[in-house]
Amino acid sequence: MKTDIFVQKAGNLFAENRLLRFVIVVLALAVVFNSFMVYRAVKYQRIVLIPPKMTGTVEFVQGRPTDNYIKDICRRVVNLAATYSPPTARGQFEELLSYYAPESYPTASKEWYSLASRIEESQVSSVFYLEKITLKENTNTMEVFGNLKQFAAVNTLLENTTKTYLINYRIQDGRLYIMSIKEKSVGGEK
């Protein structure tokens, strides 16, 4: 850098130092501003996903998914668990087990594969008409209410009743894991 505006060499050095100080101050302010903006962007970032077979967008704000995401997953899980026929039950239950948390998987797989065997033996079909989903945020529980119809053989109606299922879940690293699915009886859980 060469500044020859002054006749004296000392004056030119002082001018050069002032210019360098100004540049350093401007760069320092730019770094501080950039750091603030990066922090703000990371803190308020939104990740928008559109997974297959979902009805809408999925948003995670500060690591927490929106209620729509949880309800979409709930609809999918309830459909896999309560609407089946003998040829489709085992495949649906395998897909349902992919939603389970690793620590809940062994118990759940025994229950669901046992149910699949009973369905195949007895030739029972089931249809669940979902009516209402209620989220209980503080307990990470979904309460699912609807009408359940079960058929034997071809068109023989076995059961036509309303059911309420409680689905306990947890969210870890942006993924919803099912801990358990239980049928709610009139007095509490079954």
Q: What is the pLDDT of residues 10-36, one digit of tens each?
A: 777 788 888 999 999 999 999 999 999
pLDDT at 21: 95
The pLDDT > 90 percentage for the chain reads: 45
Give the amino acid at 54.
Answer: M
Domains of the chain: 67-184 (3.10.450.230)
Q: CA-CA distances (angstroms) from residue 180 to 13, 121, 163?
A: 76, 25, 16
Cβ pair 97, 107 in contact under 8 A: no
Helix axes 89-97, 67-82, angle to 10 degrees: 150
pLDDT at 153: 73
pLDDT tier, 157 (very low <50, low <70, confident <90, very high otherwise): confident
Cβ pair 124, 150 in contact under 8 A: yes
pLDDT at 6: 61
Backbone φ/ψ region at 53: left (φ over 0), alpha (ψ -120 to 50), beta? left
